[in-house]
Structure 1
Amino acid sequence: MKNYYGVFSVDIPLPFRLNQVNCFIGRGNEGWAIIDTGLNRKVTMDIWKTTFNDLNMNITDIESIFLTHMHIDHYGLAGELQRKSGATVYMSEIDIQLEADFWTEERDVQLKQFYRDNGIEEAKIARMFETEGQLQTWVNPRPKLSTFEDGDFYKIGDLTYQAIHTPGHSDGHFSLYNREEKILFSGDHVLPKITPNISVFPNSSSNPLKEYLESLDQIKELDVNFVIPSHGEPFEDLRGRVEEIKGHHDVRLQQIYESLSTGCFATEVCQKVFGNHLSSYDYPFAFGEILAHLNYLVEIGEIEKEGHRYYRKSTVK
């Protein structure tokens, strides 16, 4: 296990194209503290059990579990770990509310209508919801959640970290920062090789890309020498990576703008940008990201929206 000032990295495999999440464990104030958990699968629990043995600790020694955000690869095992350990599980208040709504029948009805309104055909919607049924098995039991706030401080390993709200990838995403050693646990906010998905869904921010770009500008002003992400290897040049990510979104915005030669549904733009070969698991993320970029372009006045169709401002309709 890699050791970052008393915080040990735990590599958890995922059954997705993005096939690993980096989780972490270190001593807290009284017991042990975990950052993110992986999915509730046997392989995940087996890895955690091996980790506990290697650290000469018991599962009941876990004092707290910090969840950077509500996506299932980060919190799926939290409820089971809490059930076995009694640990307090922390997540942002924003994501706690989103998570509470996520697995309800009302949300399913709303999401299906959201997809229909935006031009997705019924057969594709049905396939996407078949995939969601499998996902739900990887998050049960769901944890009882407590809140942490922007600016809170927590001891994990040898250092104390400040919680920093970094929205975009999720509305309530948080990163953890130590000023003295200039270390940032970035979660999914800044990744070394890929760009985090920025998507629009019902009941979430309508302009997450704006929030994400603003948050990137905020985070790059921190004095950081070492970034530890949730996917990929640690890296050093935070400001350089932020500029690369912003450049990626500039290119994507231009690509989407140029695709609007006529009025388009978001699903038509998605096909132009990503093609026709996305899986039922990947499609919602691609579609949500297209919506995020379209909504950003609407807000800055580059395009117009009428109903669920998007147009270039200069287009004669």
Structure 2
Amino acid sequence: MSSLDAQGHEWRAGLRFPWPTPPANGEVATVAEGLLWLRMPLPFGLDHINLYLLRHGQGWVAVDTGLNNPQTREVWERLFEQALGGLPLLAVVCTHFHSDHVGVLGWLTERFRCPVFMSASEYQAMHQLGAGNDAASRWAFHEHYRRAGFSTEQTEALFPLLNSAHFRPEIPTSFHRLSEGSELSIGGRRWQVRIGRGHSPEHACLYCAEDRLLIAGDQVLPRITSSVCVQVTEPDANPLLDWLDSIERLRTVPDDVLVLPAHERPFFNLHLRLDQLRDHHLAHLQQVLDACAAPRSAVELMALLFPKVSGRFDELMALGETLAHINYLIAQGQLGREEIAGVFRYGRMPAGTSARSVLGQLCAAGE
């Protein structure tokens, strides 16, 4: 349910949205002086990404780029002549490496010969997008998804998706490093870098204390939750621990900032949203723990957490999120796992015992 206040702001689930409707896909809206909100279209169920354009002297700084496809380039071409007034891009700041955020990064920076600013871990991860999808290394993918409960046919069906041009960004040859505490001076505003983890390795948010603005990327979204996934590249990772820690660190940003997210609409009431995100994952953890009174596979637990999954991409994300919750509970000593007929099955650990790590299993096998 939502309602409008006297200022025409929409209230939904305790969050206040100053813009009841977003700009149309491919169009911009003014958020503050010298700050534009661009709604870039995406060819998915989530049909857009929000990019931000910051005026700086005789040009602009872009925050994120959109997906690597012709439609993205067409939108940028219109913007260069219209919204940007023919002025050049002077730099591109990337919040993180995901393909909808860096898809045409190389194209933009080559066109304007301008620098890229992003964190080192995100730059490295961008170079690894799609690595290991060749036929010679498919065994690792098959093993990962087989142990989760996928059939060989289900795993093979993922490869066309993973190799899609959508997920192959154009990559620049150099970057300028952002890290926690870095500061960027853009158009008279000072932007502090706040790093989040879990959704991606070293996600950069930009916080302007003077004007109470937070460009949050995917780290804080107003309605949907950011994906927190375990991938084949690190099957025993614990990204949910990183994510929950990041939520707590973001509370040092004042609650009254205007949050500028990468999806949906800008909003107020940051700390309430951080509470909601935390509680969402805690509820999922409890669901997994309750379900594992009897041993369950990851695919069985995925069906419990995400009963309305549709399509291969959603399935890929849902399984990754399920594994993130499983791995968190294993690290907490609350779940154990056993491989039965090639599939990992997870069960609650009796009180006073602890789950064994993969390293421990390998060492024990070699004794």
Normalised by the length of structure 2, the TM-score is: 0.79
Distance 1:278 1:254 in 2: 24
Structure with higher helix content: 1
TM-fit CA distance, 1:102: 2.3
Q: How does 1:45-56 map to 2 (within 5 A)?
A: 45-53=73-81, 54-56=83-85
Query: 1:98 is aligned with what amino acid?
Result: A
Taking the aligned partners of 1:28 and 1:249, their CA distance within structure 2 comes to 39
Q: What code does the residue aligned with 1:115 have?
A: Y
Mapped partners of 1:111, 1:156: distance in 2? 43
From 10, 16, 38, the equivalent of 2:38 is: 10
| Corresponding position: 1:67 with 2:94 | yes
Q: How much does 1:276 deviate?
A: 7.4
1:51-102 Cα deviation digits (max 9, x unpaired): 22222124xx212111111111111111111221112122211122222222
Distance across 2 between alignment mates of 1:145 and 1:72:
18
Q: Does 1:198 align with 2:228?
A: yes
What is the distance in 1 between the residues matched to 2:169 and 2:204? 23
* 3-state SS, counterpart of residue 264 of structure 1: coil
Q: Which residue, out of 241, 257, 261, partners 1:229? A: 261
Q: Confirm or deny: 8 A CA contact 2:40 2:72 kept in the other structure.
A: yes
- Counterpart residue type for residue 80 of structure 1: W
Paired-residue identity, %: 29
Residue 159 of structure 2 aligns to a residue whose secondary structure is helix
Is residue 267 from structure 1 mapped to residue 308 from structure 2 by the alignment?
Answer: no
Give structure 1 stretches of 5+ with no counterpart: none
Deviation at 1:139, TM superposition (A): 3.3
CA distance in 1, matches of 2:253, 2:336: 36
- In structure 2, how many angstroms separate the alpha carbons of the residues matched to 1:282 and 1:88? 34
Which moved further from structure 2: 29-38 or 246-255? 29-38
Please say if residues 28 and 155 of structure 1, whose CA atoms lie closer than 8 Å, have aligned partners that are also in contact.
no
Task: Give 1:288's aligned residue.
Answer: 320
Q: Distance in 2 between matches of 1:277 and 1:288?
A: 13
Deviation at 1:273, TM superposition (A): 2.6
Residue type matched to 2:154 in 1? Answer: K
Structure 1 residue 103: Cα displacement: 2.2
Match for residue 7 of structure 2?
A: none
When residues 99 and 280 of structure 1 are mapped into structure 2, their CA distance, relative to the original with a 3 A threshold, is same
Residue type of the alignment partner of 2:84: L
| Alpha-carbon contact 1:303-1:311 (below 8 Å) kept | yes
1:312 corresponds to 2:348: yes
Match of 2:146 among 116, 128, 132: 116
- Post-superposition offset of 1:131: 1.4
Q: Which residue of 2 aligns with 1:23?
A: 51
My pick for the range that moved more, 289-298 or 118-127, is 118-127
Matches for 1:1-317 after TM superposition, within 5 Å: 1-28=29-56, 31-53=59-81, 54-58=83-87, 61-105=88-132, 109=138, 110-134=140-164, 136-137=165-166, 139-146=168-175, 147-204=177-234, 206-223=237-254, 224-275=256-307, 277-307=309-339, 308-314=344-350
Q: In 2, distance between residues paired with 1:217 and 1:83?
A: 38
What are the superposed Cα offsets for residues 228-282 of structure 1, whole Å, 9 maximum, x if unpaired? 1110111110001111111111111111111213222212211233237531111
Amino acid at match of 2:105: A
Distance 2:48 2:124 in 1: 26
Amino acid at match of 1:314: P
Instruction: Show CA shifts across 1:141-179 (max 9, x none).
Output: 322241322211112344121111111111121111011
Contact 1:264 1:311 in 2 (8 A): yes
Q: 1:195 offset after TM fit, Å?
A: 0.8
CA contact (8 A) 2:96 2:122 kept: yes
Distance 1:38 1:261 in 2: 43
Q: Mark the structure with the bigger radius of gyration.
A: 2
| Cα pair 2:218 2:261 within 8 Å, conserved | yes
Distance 1:202 1:30 in 2: 45
Q: Does the aligned pair in 2 maintain the 1:5–1:158 contact within 8 Å? A: no
The number of residues matched between the two structures is 313
Q: Would the alpha carbon gap of residues 70 and 311 (structure 1) be closer, same or farther in structure 2, given more than 3 Å must change?
A: same
| Cα deviation code 1:183-241 (max 9, x no counterpart) | 11111111111111110113458111111111111102212421111101111100011
8 Å contact from structure 1 (residues 29, 155) kept in 2:
no
